[in-house]
Structure 1
């Protein structure tokens, strides 16, 4: 049940026929794990908290630095030097006291990934490195937890949803991240944000779109991005969508899977 204050807070959702009381209750019961409390994770966190997602887990082992503040809007100048999970949790508590925040001040790795993920209903990948992306992809598959993925470039972004543990309408398994990108790029070929730069507002666009997809998945509203990759080009002010499909040769959920746990990711 909702309190009178919650009804007032969420009334713009409650009058939406696609959300309504049932959808808002689903959000209140939901547990979402956000991996990365930076450029993507900041707007994602704000909109999920505002929407009334009941429990939000935050995984990040970094601290706030001054050069983060150009795009990482969950943090402010006073938080410089503070763990990002603590800074972000404070923002959530100010925005919506009905939301429970579970900060995980740690780096996601193969030893803790499954244990963390299995206690949530959905994972949002707001990370900034390929190691974490492949780990989340594989761990969410084994844990049977939906994964909403986003990534940023200097003036562009990508967004899709993975439910690779389920079967599509064609009878084939749904695709996973390895169907899109079979292997990570060679070390040193993709420069980090600290070298290439990024237009801060692009992170806001993509993190907000990621929040939309998370809310759709939680409430069962609209058309999922499973099998579709949304591409955003800020310089051309253009959105495009490409279809992608299950690769029967992929080692995770292909016809002859090579991976049965996360041990292949151990370096």
Structure 2
């Protein structure tokens, strides 16, 4: 296990001052591995905050390239990144913020066995994608590997956040909340538009829950947080586990 040196003790001193984290929790972060699926609007604040928080190994996966329309909200990238891969662009920013962590950029679209392999190799997965199919694929892989999943979504003025932990008997999974065969649909920001700071709010909340999980602080399980940026309302709903869920029901 990697220990905190003097420089790390200074860098993370504001975390260490928190009794809920302290040196033990910060050491856990330093030895943790997190997988970030998507380096766009949600993935940008997630990547930057987890890098600055000292999560030891961060794998960022995105097969897209930076376009001018992205710069309205995807704060990990800038004008010099135009035309470059999002995963590598985000990795450059992360390394500049914290050269003491390991950042692994992957310019690929995760699916099938490769997705399952990567999820199983990490302690936590953060779904920062922008489509329903990817969210369900990531959820299935997380359930099989028994890896916690922090899920976020944002479109127009509406954002949502949920934490799922298949290691916990009572925790639902993403499919319990949004069945694939149901009527729930979504679409990318290119279709519907999105308020730029909204993805920062939801991505930052994802980072909060990730740090809590990796540092050994109890996560906010079994709740869906809904944020309406237009009205300013924040609502939370209890989400029970579906014992008949075809994804997580059989693995309990």
What TM-score do you get using the length of structure 1 for normalisation?
A: 0.89
Pick closer, same or farther for the CA change 1:176–1:123 going to 2, 3 Å: same
Structure-1 residue corresponding to 2:177 = 180
Work out which of the residue numbers 131, 137, 155 in structure 1 matches 2:133: 131
Work out which of the residue numbers 229, 237, 243 in structure 1 matches 2:232: 237
Structure-2 residue corresponding to 1:218 = 214
In structure 1, distance between residues paired with 2:83 and 2:236:
39
Secondary structure at the aligned position of 1:111 is classed as helix
Q: How does 1:228-267 map to 2 (within 5 A)?
A: 228-254=223-249
Work out which of the residue numbers 34, 45, 52 in structure 2 matches 1:43: 45
- Whether the 8 Å contact between 1:150 and 1:210 is mirrored in structure 2 is yes
Secondary structure at the aligned position of 2:163 is classed as strand
Pick closer, same or farther for the CA change 1:67–1:3 going to 2, 3 Å: same
Structure 1 residue 164, shift from structure 2 partner: 2.6
Work out which of the residue numbers 80, 83, 86 in structure 1 matches 2:88: 86
Structure-2 residue corresponding to 1:59 = 61
Work out which of the residue numbers 182, 192, 195 in structure 1 matches 2:191: 195
Segments of 4+ in structure 1 off by > 6 A? none
RMSD over equivalenced CA pairs, Å:
1.7
Paired residue total: 250
In structure 2, distance between residues paired with 1:147 and 1:251:
17
Which of the pair has more CA radius of gyration? 1
Pick closer, same or farther for the CA change 1:118–1:206 going to 2, 3 Å: same
In structure 2, distance between residues paired with 1:69 and 1:255:
43
Structure 1 residue 232, shift from structure 2 partner: 0.6
- Whether the 8 Å contact between 1:130 and 1:184 is mirrored in structure 2 is no
**In the alignment, structure 1 residue 117 sits paired with structure 2 residue 119:** yes
Secondary structure at the aligned position of 2:113 is classed as coil
Secondary structure at the aligned position of 2:112 is classed as coil
What do residues 167-208 of structure 1 show as CA deviations (whole Å, max 9, x unaligned)?
13xxxxx21111111125669x64431121111100000000
Gaps of 5+ in 1: 169-173, 258-267
Secondary structure at the aligned position of 1:63 is classed as coil
Gaps of 5+ in 2: none
In structure 2, distance between residues paired with 1:73 and 1:51:
17
- Whether the 8 Å contact between 2:60 and 2:103 is mirrored in structure 1 is yes
Structure 1 residue 254, shift from structure 2 partner: 2.3
Structure-2 residue corresponding to 1:171 = none
